[in-house]
Amino acid sequence: MTTTVITGIGELVTNDPARTEQGGLLGLVHDAAVVVEGSRIAWVGPAAEAPAADVHVDAGGRAVIPGFVDSHSHLVFAGDRSGEFEARMTGEPYSAGGIRTTVAATRAASDEQLTSHVARLVAEMRAQGTTTVEIKSGYGLSVHDEARSLAVARQFTDETTFLGAHVVPSGITPEDYVDLVTGPMLAAAAPHARWIDVFCEDGAFDVDQARTILAAGSDSGLRGRLHANQLTYGGGVRLACELSLVAVDHCTFLSDLDVESLSDSGTIATLLPGVEFSTRQPYPDARRLLDAGVRVALASDCNPGSCFTSSMALCIALAVREMRMSPAEALHAATATGAGALGRDDVGVLAPGKAADLVLLDAPSHVHLAYRPGVPLVAGVWQAGRPVV
Ligand code: NIG
Ligand code: FE
């Protein structure tokens, strides 16, 4: 197996819990080196002690971080909703109803069109340092279109999520649609999915419906996650905690009871600040969650409606500027805790045995991700040990 040593790393973010005593939350190592063997990390430590390897890369004093783990995206879609965004920026509110516009365009697209569109977006993410991405269905909303959306997503990631319960499509009652989602649609989707998700919100699905859908998913071997408390206070976050889901996403409108439930259950709150940016909503208060002991992840929610960014660096910058996270907390949330939100511990951490998913920044430290917002800082990406950027 080929080995590669990266030396001259001015600042290495390991996220390794064994290194937090000296290296803080991010387990920082200065003047570091990393050895990659095949698809895994073989060695991490001071550059002066690095073993030899087949290939040598000099980072030139720059920073290396784990690849971003984007635990929430909706990449399988067709069409464009820039007009809806434009209207929002002149005062229209965001509503879940816009989803139906994308459903019509997605149903009309061929498998090839959907596949090439997802390929383009995944490449766009990779070029910005994302090495693990979760992809949801949710713009098909028929048995055929949900199954093929997931089959397309599966070509790009193992972290696929069945979101047939995104909104109730036109032409069917909510009761009949929940029956469809928990019956034939779930049966067609489950072979292509690891997760099941529900948009639990006014105008989408209520807590009882979400409970029914998550239970059916669990019976089919899918793990649950939820979109909750995005537009209103509601019971979604508490349902996620009651069911001990690994993550609940959005968490924009939280009562004290919601925060308490999150800290008691250990369910990760995945915040999606690109959504607040793109919908002009108030940002969730990450500090309040962190101070209460809640684990916080950051993800892009890349989708054509509420937030069409694929940039985890933008999410980090927003989290630092608008949500009172420190640069270290935000990067940790976009890597190690993002991995936790997918039930993974093999990515998001740079330590021996972990996936060799690394990003070389054109910057001396991770702080530049928030300090230099909007600047492309990714100088190189290795995914499973292979240089891909
Ligand atoms: O995560 N909240 C529900 N779903 C997406 C938005 C979907 C859309 O507007 O197309 C989200 O924000
Ligand atoms: Fe979403």
Question: Model confidence over 127-150: pLDDT tens digits?
Answer: 999 999 999 999 999 999 999 999
- Is the model's pLDDT at 269 over the cut of 90? yes
DSSP at 191: G
pLDDT at 111 over 90: yes
- The Å distance, Cα 62 to ligand 2 centre, comes to 34
Q: Which atom of ligand 1 is nearest to the CA of 98?
A: 9
Within the chain, where are the H helices? 20-23, 82-89, 99-108, 111-127, 143-154, 174-180, 186-189, 207-219, 236-242, 256-265, 273-279, 286-291, 312-322, 327-334, 336-340, 368-371
Closest residue (by CA) to atom 11 of ligand 1?
Answer: 306
> Is the model's pLDDT at 86 over the cut of 90?
yes
| Residue 154: closest CA among 178, 189, 182, 127 | 189
Residue 116 neighbours by CB under 8 Å, 6+ apart? none
Q: Which ligand 1 atom minimizes the distance to the CA of 307?
A: 12
pLDDT band for position 279 (50/70/90)? Answer: very high
The confidence score (pLDDT) of residue 83 equals 96
Q: Is the pLDDT of residue 3 over 90?
A: yes
* 95: pLDDT strictly greater than 90: no
Of all protein residues, the one whose alpha carbon is nearest to atom 5 of ligand 1 is: 306
Averaged pLDDT, 362-367: 98
What is the tens place of the pLDDT at every residue in 209-259?
999 999 999 999 999 999 999 999 999 999 999 999 999 999 999 999 999
pLDDT per residue as tens digits for the range 38-80: 999 999 999 999 999 999 999 999 999 999 999 999 999 999 9
Å from CA of 306 to ligand 1 middle:
5
What is the three-class DSSP state of 360? strand
pLDDT at 96: 83
- Going by pLDDT thresholds of 50, 70 and 90, the confidence category of residue 301 is very high
User: What's the CA gap between 203 and 187, in Å, rounded?
Assistant: 25
Looking at residue 122, what is its pLDDT? 99
Pocket perturbation via mutation, ligand 1, pick of 72, 74, 80, 248 by most ligand atoms within 8 A of CB = 74
Q: How far is CA 128 from CA 69, 251, 322, in A?
A: 12, 25, 21
Return the number of other C-beta atoms located less than 10 Å from residue 262's C-beta.
25
Distance 227 CA to ligand 2 centre (A): 6
Determine which residue's CA is closest to atom 3 belonging to ligand 1: 199
Ligand having the closest approach to the CA of 303 = 1
Residues lining ligand 1, Cβ inside 6 A: 74, 98-99, 102, 199, 227, 230, 275, 301, 303-306
Residue 97 has pLDDT above 90, yes or no: no
Domains of the chain and CATH, by start: 3-67+348-387 (2.30.40.10), 69-160+193-340 (3.20.20.140)
Distance, CA of 211 to chain centre: 23
